[in-house]
């Protein structure tokens, strides 16, 4: 009876080790490209972008930009920076983690 209990406990311990992921930063959920494994290099691609830049004309006739406004009308894509795979499904996560 005692032997059986010990065996059960060992099995539980083993299962715990398997379930524990070897994360470098425990508690963080990093985006990893499922195609090439890249987890560092990403890019964002915006389609149909209108950039409006306001200028002030100076007395000597030169112009100085004062503000610019970017409006995105198309889709914003999120891609792997190494293999170029479309990772747009992770874009929301990316925005949440953007500081
Ligand atoms: Zn990739």
pLDDT tens, residue by residue, 67-84: 999 999 999 999 999 999
* Structure confidence at residue 29 (pLDDT): 82
Q: How far is CA 14 from CA 18, 23, 49, in A?
A: 7, 18, 53
Q: Which of 95, 51, 44 is nearest to 73 (CA)?
A: 51
What is d(CA 36, CA 56) in angstroms, rounded to the nearest whole number? 48
pLDDT in tens, 5-62: 555 555 555 555 554 455 555 567 899 999 999 999 999 999 999 999 999 999 999 9
* Structure confidence at residue 12 (pLDDT): 52
Centre of ligand 1 from the C-alpha of residue 40, in Å? 10
Centre of ligand 1 from the C-alpha of residue 27, in Å? 23
* Structure confidence at residue 88 (pLDDT): 96
Centre of ligand 1 from the C-alpha of residue 48, in Å? 25
* Structure confidence at residue 99 (pLDDT): 87
Tell me the residue ranges of DSSP E strands in the chain. Answer: 42-46, 49-57, 63-72, 76-80
Could you give the count of Cα atoms lying within 13 Å of 1 in the half-sphere of its Cβ?
A: 0
Centre of ligand 1 from the C-alpha of residue 89, in Å? 14
Centre of ligand 1 from the C-alpha of residue 59, in Å? 52
pTM of the model: 0.58
Centre of ligand 1 from the C-alpha of residue 51, in Å? 30
H runs (alpha helix) in the chain: 2-19, 91-96
Judge contact between 64 and 2, C-beta under 8 A: no
Centre of ligand 1 from the C-alpha of residue 8, in Å? 42
Phi-psi map region of 37: left, alpha, beta (phi>0 left; psi -120 to 50 alpha): left
Q: Is the pLDDT higher at 38 or at 4?
A: 38
* Structure confidence at residue 51 (pLDDT): 92
């Amino acid at each position: 009876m005692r032997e059986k209990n010990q065996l059960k406990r060992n099995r539980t311990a083993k299962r715990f080790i398997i379930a524990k992921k070897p994360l470098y930063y425990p508690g963080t959920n990093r985006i990893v490209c499922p195609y090439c494994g890249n987890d560092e290099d990403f890019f964002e691609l915006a389609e149909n972008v209108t950039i409006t830049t306001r200028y002030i004309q100076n007395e000597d006739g030169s112009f100085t930009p004062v503000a610019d406004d970017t409006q995105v009308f198309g889709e914003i894509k999120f891609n792997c920076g190494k293999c170029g795979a479309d990772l747009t499904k992770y874009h929301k996560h990316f925005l949440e983690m953007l500081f």
